[in-house]
């Protein structure tokens, strides 16, 4: 039972980690990638 719960916790952890890590590494979304320097989205 413990490995199952640990796996579910790891799934959540990996998802959150991936979200922040990918944002940190580089802009990957189409909105970010196709925006010129002169365009501000925020």
Partner 1 sequence: MNVRLFAFLFAILLGSAASAQDAPEEAAPADRSATGGAQTLEDILRRQEGLPVEDRSGAPAGEAPVSSDQLGTLGGASDSDLWRELRYDTADVTSQIRGPATTTLIQDSGMAWTQFREGPLATYGGYLLLGTIVALFLFYMIRGKIRVYGKKSGQRVTRFKAFERFSHWLLAGSFILLGITGLITLFGRMTIGLFANNPAAYDTAREIYAFIALYSKWVHNNVSWAFMLALIFVFVLWVWHNLPDRTDFKWIAQGGGIIGNAHPPAKKFNFGQKMIFWSVIVLGGSISASGLSLLFPFELPMFAATFDKINAVGVPGWFGFAPLPTDLAPHQEMQLAQAWHAIVSFVLMAIIIAHIYIGSVGMEGAYDAMGSGEVSVEWAEQHHSIWAEKELTMPRKAPASAGATPAE
Q: Which residues bind partner 1 (CB under 8 A)?
A: 1-4, 6-8, 10-11, 14-16, 18-19, 28-30, 33-36
- For partner 1, the closer CB: 33 or 42: 33
- Which residue has 């590494």 as its token pair? 25
**Closest distance to partner 1 from the beta carbon of 42 (Å):** 17
Tokens at residue 18, please?
A: 């991936």
Task: Report the b/e string of 6-22 with b at 16+ CB within 10 A.
Answer: eeeeeeeeeeeeeeeee
**Closest distance to partner 1 from the beta carbon of 11 (Å):** 4
């Amino acid at each position: 039972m413990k490995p199952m719960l640990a796996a579910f916790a790891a799934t959540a952890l990996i998802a959150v980690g991936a979200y922040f890590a990918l944002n940190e590494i580089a802009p990957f979304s189409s909105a970010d990638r196709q925006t010129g320097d002169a365009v501000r989205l925020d």
